[in-house]
Amino acid sequence: MDVVKQLQRQFIDFSTSLYREGFVDDQFAQLQKLQDESNPDFVVEVVSLFFDDSEKLVKNLAVALEQQVVDYKQVDANVHQLKGSSSSIGAKRVKDVCVAFRSFCEAENHEGCLRCLHQVSHENSLLKNKLQTLFRLEQQILAAGGTVPVLE
């Protein structure tokens, strides 16, 4: 019982820190709400999908920005996609970078775009790690026989 409580405590602290640090926002909480008995791995699935998607997009962006003549429309489209995806799962920081990214695109600022790209990539990896930790904690709690606490 103690182990479970400890794990839960850890989970809560970690979750709260995620929110506090702006890694995720309300939308992530909404996603967690959608998880139920009929859909037990919803969050994990969506998040995995997001990371697949975002990694692909980042790669595309890298390729696009490496071109001699940068097709900013294409870049914008990709960033738009990424912004959409990240806001769908509540990846706040990523989304914020995307917003900045888009303005650089509009301004056709290559430097800015590159910077943003790196930032996006960085944030993506950070988020991935954080979420993986979160899911691991969840698994541990479930394995120990407890229930995953729900944050309000």
Q: Would you tell me which residues interact with another protein (CB under 8 A)?
A: 16, 19-20, 26-27, 29-31, 33-34, 36, 38-39, 42, 45-46, 49-50, 53, 77, 80-81, 83-85, 87-90, 151-152
Residues of the chain by 3-state class (helix, strand, coil), percent to 5: 80, 5, 20
The least CB distance from residue 91 to another protein, in Å, is 10
Instruction: Give the pair of three-digit tokens for residue 39.
Output: 């859909």
The least CB distance from residue 48 to another protein, in Å, is 10
Nearer to another protein, 52 or 143 (CB): 52
Nearer to another protein, 130 or 144 (CB): 130
The least CB distance from residue 89 to another protein, in Å, is 6
The least CB distance from residue 35 to another protein, in Å, is 8
Nearer to another protein, 19 or 135 (CB): 19
State the amino acid at position 56 in one-letter form: K
DSSP states of 58-123: HHHHHHHHHSSS--HHHHHHHHHHHHHHHHHHTBHHHHHHHHHHHHHHHHT-HHHHHHHHHHHHHH
Nearer to another protein, 50 or 137 (CB): 50
State the amino acid at position 149 in one-letter form: P
* Exposure of 45 in the CB half-sphere (CA atoms within 13 A): 6
The least CB distance from residue 32 to another protein, in Å, is 10
Nearer to another protein, 4 or 12 (CB): 12
Crossing angle of helices 110-143 and 42-66, rounded to 10°: 160
